[in-house]
A and B are shown apart, each in its own frame.
Chain A
């Protein structure tokens, strides 16, 4: 089955220690997204790639970066995790047409990050 895969499902890191979260997809979608979701809140978009074009949200901290080496994979790097970065991180994909928008986003199972 085509899907969005996130590894690991749970990640524990230490305060200030860089961590990378992974996302891969077999849907062959050209748009990939990273969301942060804190407890009892809605998901918050951090950034997205439209093909190779990176789109950062204005309020995404510099501590968060992303890489998309190819269509299938996307990584979220947190350079110096703080206690406030503990959250669920959700990856999503969509099949986007340039300028259209409104396409359905399909989400992975998420990675729950714990910062000690």
Chain B
């Protein structure tokens, strides 16, 4: 069974600080896909990244970076030099091969204080 755990429910940081969101997943499949989505107060889920289980390279996109470690079943997300516009709920999600369903974590509410 798929399971995604995002232990930190709400994280507050002061603007320009870095913030790291932890995501731990469980799956029995060897082929799977991991995602991060951002949900700002407007409600739309915005796709940030997709990573397959065979690609363990870390990725950086502007102020965002992701650290994928299969050994610890984690796919952590870091926002560097946070800005007020980063205030949102961030969801980590998992999909197994051959399955359209996304298993979402409970989300991390990030509050960036100016």
**Which residues from chain A sit less than 8 Å from chain B, CB to CB?**
31, 33, 41-43, 45, 48, 50, 55, 88, 90, 92, 94, 96, 99-110, 112
Contacts and interface: CB of A to CB of B under 8 A. Distances in A.
Contact of A42 (B33, B47, B99, B104): B104
B43 A104 contact: no
Interface stretch (B60-68, B70-78, B90-98): B90-98
Contact of A106 (B47, B91, B96, B97): B47
Interface of B: 31-33, 35, 37, 42-47, 50, 52, 91, 95-102, 104-107
Contacts of B99: 101-102
Given A48-B100, A102-B98, A105-B47, 6 more contacts: A45-B102, A102-B31, A104-B47, A107-B47, A110-B44, A112-B43
Contacts of B46: 107
Contacts of A112: 43
A106 B48 CA distance: 10
A109 B44 contact: yes
Contacts of B101: 45
A48 B95 CA distance: 15
14 contacts: A42-B91, A90-B45, A99-B98, A101-B96, A101-B98, A102-B31, A102-B50, A102-B95, A104-B35, A104-B50, A106-B47, A107-B46, A109-B43, A110-B43
B31 to A, nearest CB: 8
A105 B102 contact: yes
Nearest to A31: B100
